[in-house]
Amino acid sequence: MPLPRRQNSDAVRVPRKDRKGASPFAVGAIVLVILVIITYFGFTKHVPFTHGYRLNAVFTTSNNLKPGSPVRIAGVNVGKVKKISRYKDSDYSVVQMEIQDTGLPIHKDATAKIRPRIFLEGNFFVDLRPGTPSAPKLDDNDRPLPTTQTSAPVQLDQVLTALQSNPRRDLQDLLVNLGKTLTYNPGAQGGTSEQVDAFNSTQDADVQNKSAAEALQNSYTYSADALKNASIINEATLGLEPDDLSKLLKGLQLTSAGLGRNEEQLQGLITNFNTTMAAFASEQDNLRTTIAELPRTLVLANTAFDALNRAFPPTRAFSKAILPGVNETNATIQASFPWIAQVQALVGPDELGGLVQQAQPLTADTADLINQTVKLLPKTNLTAKCVTHNILPTGDIVINEGNLSTGTPNYKEFWQTMVALAGEGQNFDGNGMYVRFQPGGGATTVSTGKTNFGGPPLFANNIYAPLGTRPAMPSKRSPYRPDVDCYKNAVPNVNGAKLGPGEKVVSTGPSLPALRSTTPDAGKPEGASALPGVGEELVKSVDPTQETTSKDSDAAGGDKPSGGADAGAGR
């Protein structure tokens, strides 16, 4: 295969030694510069005239922090300090840091702390926390982090300076007084009874007569329940969502930052808080009682909240259902205007207004009637009480009349008597109903004798001598107090009259015929003697002028006089 023809074969060939090009020095210099650049990039890993993400933070003091000091997140280097300068005209320092991409993003709630890398200080670095993901991000060279989000370490010389002679003495006094406080017990240290009582009056019952150290030791018995409840509280503090606690801390941070920006208002807040705590301390007994009632209150509150939660869905449904009606409210109001106009005409002077004026006298009379009714009602109440406590119970009593008793309440006997009288008085002539009574007459004169109530004696003529009285006239009136309310009187004793067999008596006076005895009378038809059993229940006979003697007791001597207090009218 033939070789290609070389181009420019006619050109003149120049020897190598006569050829011109770059000098070896220039080439060596270029190579050296390239090696230096490669070495620089290999060690610095930074492109000149460029910069990474810049973060600024204001510190109360830079604390020997220097440019080039590392910046770490969770112990990993993510950048370095680029510049430290004075913050405006204050005594603070602003530190500019350059953060690598591995340390991004940085949020507005980020915090920065200057920490020593060794125990005895030195080689300080910036411990950076990038903030919560929910917070806004900071841009490159954005506003610096405020002092409320930064902090500097306490220097050893500051600690030693704080512990000068006076602070050390104060610390010693503090420890001594703390020991006395923990071991103080007036009862064990020979205190008087007044001191012991005064000491115990301020203590709870389970720690009385004990020192503070003993009381703290006894408190360990409650530690299990207390720590259990504390763990429940800590768990509840975490919230229901993963970010609840971080949001709470963020809110607290914003609150603290706001308080830091307004020192005068914060001072007033602390003063007022001190006053509030003093007020709480003055009411510590009531506060202790309130806290004791708090668990039951929380239980009831939880029950109420549960009921409220159950009520929300129906309320929400009701709210949705009522929306159409609410939307029609305007139209309803517009439609009600004609009705309102008609009502206004109805209540005008020509309609209800005139009726009201005419009804005013009736209203006044009604008011007077109500006033009189108010006065009448107490009297009606007294009447009802009298009927309930006296009249009705009296009518329900069964009168005991021996073998003549019916066993029926006396109010029924009264109405049965009325029925009997009605039956006795009926007839069929034009005069209507009436009852005829024929008073008895005869040769036997009877008298009530001297009555017990101061009245004159009563006389009557009987065909036959009376067998006795039923019931006997009582020796005194039934108790009755007209000066007190009726219902306060005792129920009358309708069985208080004397019953039982009386004496067989005859009259010895010349002007009166002999009283009838229980034996048959010659002047009386045969069989007209007293009924068997009734003679045994005779009550004393009445003779207002003569003393009477009993035939059965003549042989034994005289009788006691009849009549007087035991005399009574024949039944």
Residue for token pair 């049965």? 416
Indicate the pLDDT class of residue 434, thresholds 50, 70 and 90.
low
Q: Are 69 and 81 in contact (CB under 8 A)?
A: yes
pLDDT at residue 129, rounded to an integer? 92
pLDDT at residue 552, rounded to an integer? 38
What ranges do the domains of the chain cover? 53-156, 174-237, 438-571
> Could you read off the pLDDT of 356-406 as tens digits, one per residue?
777 788 888 888 889 999 989 998 999 999 999 988 998 899 988 777 788
List helix spans (H) across 328-351: 329-346
Residues 284-310: what's their mean pLDDT? Answer: 87
Contacts of 488 (CB under 8 A, 6+ apart): 481
pLDDT higher than threshold 60 for residue 556: no
pLDDT at residue 529, rounded to an integer? 37
pLDDT at residue 97, rounded to an integer? 92
Please give the DSSP secondary-structure letter assigned to residue 388.
I
Indicate the pLDDT class of residue 205, thresholds 50, 70 and 90.
confident
Q: Are 149 and 112 in contact (CB under 8 A)?
A: yes
pLDDT at residue 229, rounded to an integer? 81
Report the alpha-carbon distance of residue 155 to residue 167 in Å, rounded.
18
pLDDT at residue 388, rounded to an integer? 92
pLDDT higher than threshold 90 for residue 215: no
Query: If you average pLDDT over every residue of the chain, what do you get?
Result: 74
- Please tell me which of 187-201, 346-360, 389-403, 415-429 the model is most confident about, judged by mean pLDDT: 389-403
> Could you read off the pLDDT of 114-172 as tens digits, one per residue?
888 776 555 789 999 999 988 899 999 888 999 889 988 776 666 666 666 677 787 78
pLDDT at residue 384, rounded to an integer? 92
Pull the structure tokens for residue 350. 């020509």
pLDDT at residue 130, rounded to an integer? 92
> Could you read off the pLDDT of 451-501 as tens digits, one per residue?
655 667 777 787 777 766 666 666 666 667 788 888 888 888 777 765 544
Could you give the angle at which helices 263-282 and 284-327 cross, rounded to 10 degrees?
A: 120
Could you give the angle at which helices 263-282 and 244-261 cross, rounded to 10 degrees?
A: 110
pLDDT higher than threshold 70 for residue 48: no
Pull the structure tokens for residue 32. 């050296």
pLDDT higher than threshold 70 for residue 340: yes
pLDDT at residue 515, rounded to an integer? 37
Indicate the pLDDT class of residue 561, thresholds 50, 70 and 90.
very low
Query: What type of residue sits at position 69?
Result: S
Residues 412-420: what's their mean pLDDT? Answer: 87
- Percent share of the chain, pLDDT over 70: 71
Report the alpha-carbon distance of residue 494 to residue 394 in Å, rounded.
8
Report the alpha-carbon distance of residue 196 to residue 206 in Å, rounded.
15
pLDDT at residue 545, rounded to an integer? 36
pLDDT higher than threshold 70 for residue 249: yes
Helix (H) or strand (E) holding 234: helix 223-237
Residues 522-538: what's their mean pLDDT? Answer: 36
pLDDT at residue 560, rounded to an integer? 36
Q: Are 129 and 116 in contact (CB under 8 A)?
A: no
Residues 188-204: what's their mean pLDDT? Answer: 75
**Sign of the CA dihedral 264, 269, 272, 278?**
negative
Residues 320-329: what's their mean pLDDT? Answer: 87
Please name which of 86, 97, 27 lies closest in space to residue 60, comparing C-alpha atoms.
86
Contacts of 263 (CB under 8 A, 6+ apart): none
pLDDT at residue 47, rounded to an integer? 61
- 207 CA to centre of own chain: 33
Q: Are 457 and 448 in contact (CB under 8 A)?
A: yes
pLDDT higher than threshold 90 for residue 71: yes
